[in-house]
Structure 1
């Protein structure tokens, strides 16, 4: 299987979002405590089950979808799947900002990042670029 790199902006955007997703997933997988600290959370030292949740859920899904999209970035279905995942991540963050009194600068910045990632995958599929 030969890996080809994107030649156009239409292909480059989903490819870059896939690269970010892989990096995000690897960071959560191999440094879950730092990942939690970045989010302002902590685990109990006596109970390590929280770390497995970070590694499984917050690392596994972005890492798996990111890798699949990395290799098949020119496939519309892969772009839609990764874009929908980031769009719903942004929606969940917005719901938290509005209903959990979590309106912080960090949350608003991450909301913009999540929306940009979703747009990077969905814009080529929807014909916006």
Structure 2
């Protein structure tokens, strides 16, 4: 079995987006404390369940990005982009409803928006 790397520019962008998501997921999975500090989150004294929830999210991102990288199919890129776009919608809802328009939230929204748009650019033939 050989490693597939796309030759078209649009697919390379979608592939890079999925790979970046997998790497971000690995960071969250193996360094939840650092991730929580970067996001401005903390753990209550005596309550460590937050780390499990953060690691779960990291595992989801790693699995999502990794499976798209390994299988590299247009419909998977579409599903991956739609999943990240739904996450962006959640961030927008949080900014509007929870008044959480901090620089961290806006940065997360920008990064997730870029990562979500790249697969759409490929799938819909914009590049």
Which stretches in structure 1 are left out of the alignment for 5+ residues?
none
User: What is the Cα-based RMSD across aligned positions, in Å?
Assistant: 1.2
The structure whose RCO (Cα within 8 Å, separation 6+) is larger is 2
Q: How does 1:1-129 map to 2 (within 5 A)?
A: 1-56=1-56, 58-73=57-72, 75-129=73-127
CA distance in 1, matches of 2:29, 2:104: 22
Moved over 3 A (4+): none
Which stretches in structure 2 are left out of the alignment for 5+ residues?
none
Deviation string, structure 1 residues 55-113 (Cα, Å, up to 9, x no partner): 11x1121110111111122x111101211111111111111111111112222222111
TM-score by length of 2: 0.93
CA distance in 1, matches of 2:82, 2:34: 26
Query: What is the aligned length?
Result: 127
TM-score by length of 1: 0.92
